[in-house]
Amino acid sequence: MEENTFVSLFLSLVLLQLCIKSQSQLVPALHIFGDSAVDVGNSIYLNTSFRADFAPYGIDFVVGQTGRFSNGVSITDVLGTALGVDLAYPIVNGTNTINFLYNKNQAFNYAYGTAGILPETGEATGETLSLGQQVGLFKQTVEIYLPQQFKSSQEISRYISNSLFVVFTGSNDYIHNYLQPSQYNSSRQYNDEKFADLLVTEYGNQLSELHTLGARRMVVFEIPPLGCYPIVLERIKSNTRCVENVNNMVTIFNDKLGAKVKELSSTLKDTTIILAKTYELVYDMINNSSTYGLEEAAKPCCVVGKDGSGLCVPEKTPCEKRNTTLFWDQAHISEAANTIIAVKAFNGSGLSTPANIVDAIKSAKSTPTAHNGTGPNSVSYLNILLVLAFFVVLSYL
């Protein structure tokens, strides 16, 4: 059987498990905020040129094109599988309001393609939903949707406090803002340090707002080494493996983000914030790709257009060995890379601090939940084994 076909069939089994209502899920729900790395189709419903609802996107996803900026699953899709929550669907309905059609025991996805921490980030491509706007949509969820699902405010509070909140943002504030001086003024207004300060301050404000709304378990992902991404190399016309001055900008941001997470962890009551250090992992995947079962760590798998977006050309056939390629298009990593990162964040060592996701959930002070009467100790090992098995399959193909 062809390698990609085998991986697709196996992944279909993983996602089938994700779609089945778990009787022993780790958290009542997963709430996802961020950009195109974790967008599942919200971009489709807004007026933007930056979207992924066409082939070859989704070529390896169980239901095809959904608006995910990948050939298959995202990092949060894999996390959702392991956590035992239902499949994530777009949360917006085209009017910047919540689409309240889904099961409360699922992944609620607020992420949007070109979104950033700053409101103006990504506006050059059309409508966008900044991190603050996404948190605003979650506030609608708390105030409008959840009261329809639970009998009391106490039940809602338990539900939110035991849910997991994942935030993956910041990349676009560089790619679709700071590094585009012809369209944005930020690089003329701020040096690298001050811009990172601006971003991290606003980031911290939104994490604090999530806490105010009831969030007590959060996972925050670092920005990956953007200076090694094909979209940056193409724009700068660099012949090197990475543009280190761009990576230095990102490192400044990540260092400040780490300090902010540490600060909030100590000041926000009863809150666990996990920092997923994706920068070093992705950098290592680029420079030591064979260690991760990857054969191509520089070129994108799909055919990319010349419009500067870094996205795939519609309907063009991508590379065959998608399961051994790091980059899917010029701006996004592949399903294979997403899975490696997600598994390491979930129950691996060295990526997440102060603990991986499953250990943090188990050790967190738990209150009675409203999801099937189960708690962290009744983890669905089938979910975890499916994800781990997929990781093993990738490493041997």
Cα-based distances in Å from 378 to 218, 238, 272, 285, 383: 20, 51, 20, 34, 12
Convert 261-280 to b/e letters by CB count within 10 Å (16 or more is b). Answer: beebeeebeebbbbbbbbbe
48, 125 Cβ separation under 8 angstroms: yes
Residue 245, token pair as written in the block? 């001055």
User: Strands 352-353 and 272-276, how do they pair?
Assistant: antiparallel
**Dist CA 85 CA 81 (whole Å):** 6
100, 143 Cβ separation under 8 angstroms: no
**Dist CA 288 CA 299 (whole Å):** 15
Cβ neighbours of residue 151 closer than 8 Å, sequence gap 6 or more: none
Cα-based distances in Å from 31 to 4, 120, 159, 303: 30, 23, 12, 32
Q: What is the mean pLDDT of each run of 10 residues along the chain (397 residues)?
A: 43 44 74 97 92 97 95 96 87 61 77 98 96 95 90 96 97 98 97 98 98 98 98 92 97 98 96 98 97 97 95 98 97 98 95 96 60 40 51 45
| pLDDT of amino acid 375 | 40
DSSP state of 23: S
Instruction: Identify the domain containing residue 353 by its residue range.
Output: 3-396
Q: Order of strands across the sheet with 217-221?
A: 86-90, 106-109, 30-34, 164-168, 217-221, 272-276, 352-353
Convert 119-148 to b/e letters by CB count within 10 Å (16 or more is b). Answer: ebbbbbbebbbbbebbbbbbeebbeebbee
397, 293 Cβ separation under 8 angstroms: yes
Q: Which helix (H) or strand (E) element contains residue 342?
A: helix 335-347
- Amino acid sitting at position 295: E
Cα-based distances in Å from 176 to 38, 47, 277: 16, 17, 22
Nearest to 318 by CA among 309, 308, 307, 327: 327
On whether the pTM is more than 0.85, the answer is yes
214, 147 Cβ separation under 8 angstroms: no
CATH value at residue 164: 3.40.50.1110
List, in sequence order, every residue forming a beta bridge with 109; answer none if it has no partner. 32, 90
Q: Specify the number of domains making up the chain.
A: 1
DSSP string across 95-131: SSSB---S-SSEEEE---TT--SSTTTTGGGB----H
Cβ neighbours of residue 269 closer than 8 Å, sequence gap 6 or more: none
Nearest to 46 by CA among 109, 129, 119: 129
Name the residues annotated as catalytic.
36, 329, 332
| pLDDT of amino acid 10 | 46
Helix (H, G, I), strand (E, B) or coil at 318: coil
